[in-house]
Structure 1
Amino acid sequence: MQQQKLATIEDVAALAGVSIATVSRAINEPTKVAEATRRKVTEAVARTGYTTNAMARSLRMRRSNMILILAPDVGDPNFSNILVGLETEASKRGYGVLIGNTQNDPSRETDYLRFISSNQADGLILFTGHLPFGYGQDGNEARLPPMVAVNEPVPNADVPFVGVDNFAGARIATEHLISQGHKRIAFIGRAPGREVNRLREEGYRTALTGAGLTVDPRLIIDGDGTTESGRAAAELMFVRDALPTAFFCVNDATALGVLISLSARHYDLPRQFSIMGFDDISFSSFVSPSLTTMKQPRTRIGEAAMDLLLGMLAGETPKESQILLRAELIVRNSVGRVG
């Protein structure tokens, strides 16, 4: 059987109706080509099978045009919309993404570094809140590419961060509760080891002191961000007999747990207790009462993070160590006025 002839760049150019130079630019410098033209070239590449040749060339150049995303839990409600932003921006620039679901397993995370050492990925997006396990071992520092942290900052590391302004968002959330007459406001989700939780607690404390209110340690309860931790925290409040009038929860999942606990005790919400969340994940508007919360601009976070990383890959130095986007107060039915 006669071997099929490999497609050439001339074949792609003829099918797309553009010049060979335009095909070359669309493959190697996609941002310099109009979107409509880039789409025609991409379709022609797929139809002719020229993709294989393009991949071989990228390997010779030690570039994969792929970005590795390390995430501890791809089921996190915040992940999918941030991923949309990451993929959208990457695609515009001629890049694809690889997703490593680490499940908080150090061995899985180390395994994913093989994409870096084998030149199958050019850059890293970290959702993990820490440098990759294995970093610093066997000379891995030299092999790690540019990195950007998303959602969770990486403490004590020179890794740019893109995410929501957790401190400001928590301050705004607490100020909203104060504006409704609440003076005894609980914070559910204290976790000093997690930067997001720490920043949201700091925003809560700042809002209270700014309004001349005392921070009562009995109203601050640990939590790991799960629905069960929210339910348990609300039950603990009754054991302590130090009840607030409002609960500010570190995230919406925690707020759901508080809501479940209070509803099981047949409290009239929000007349007897108000509940505030953070993140505005999908279920927030469907529970009863619907959840007042702080909305993260997740798609814009993903786009900004990928733009920053691809700029670093192009040799640009980040102008700032972090890009913080503003959270939006979403007023629904779970917060009421005192009295």
Structure 2
Amino acid sequence: MTKAKVGVLISGRGSNMAALLYASKRSDCPYEIVLVAANDPDAAGLKLAAAEGVATFGQSHKGLKREEFDAIIDAELRKAGAHYVALAGYMRLLSPGFVDGWAGRMVNIHPSLLPKYKGLDTHERALDAGDTVGGCSVHIVTAELDDGPVLGQTEVAILPGDTPETLAARILIAEHQLYPRVLAELVSRETSPDWLLDQVRERALALPKTTEKSSHGSPGFLIEGGKFFAYFSHDHHGDGITSVLVKTGGPEEQMMLIEADPDIYYKPPYLGPSGWIGIRLDGDDVDWERVEEKLAASWRMVAPKKLAMLF
């Protein structure tokens, strides 16, 4: 099982980091923690992570501009091979460039039922409002504070006589349960055949005059009233591969692509002899721009001249 590589950012004790770390020790967990980094070199969570054999990095942000410090953290995450970032009590506002660099792959846990109570003092605000439940949310990080798409939530009952401290303690238990589960779901999503098919479908059907039709049990994409220009293949005849098949200019181009990047391209059975090529979608990081380009090139090869000239 290939596990997704996750970097965790903390500022203090790192209790949510610890929850993610211990969950990752299960053999069936789809992610592993490859780095724990902090903006305080004395953060207690760094010692815990190091004791558990996880690489750590700690540096104070003091005296550095936000973009400068974020560039340092970004470099450490990428050096560690992180593919996702989990914020776990990271008390720093992030620069737009850093957020953009991890768009869709950075998550945060927040102690309220978003969109309620963004920012600080969430428990006190819930109590002051007379809420009967509080809770926590895991969301994708965007440029706006606590505003990204919510991936999961857990409600926690507010009891008579609760204080911000007693409510926070119970919600923290819920956080430790919720965060590992939601992170596992997120990193697994991009290897799910259904999700991968949706990505191919979105790009193929965005091309002019295209439609979808099953062919030999596989989803195929064709120009309306014309020829197929792409197929989605998952474990075809038990080969264990998930891919999109597209046309090339012929065997010469096909072999050139395979020789240049054999981990991505392969010659598919049946269609391979006629110059089609398979682009694997089951790797660690699919280059969707490349997939989009190859779909468009394949579409142009089968499109009528008048239609092709318009695109």
**TM-score w.r.t. structure 1 length?**
0.32
Higher relative contact order (CA closer than 8 Å, sequence separation 6+): 1
Q: Which has the higher helix share?
A: 1
**TM-score w.r.t. structure 2 length?**
0.35
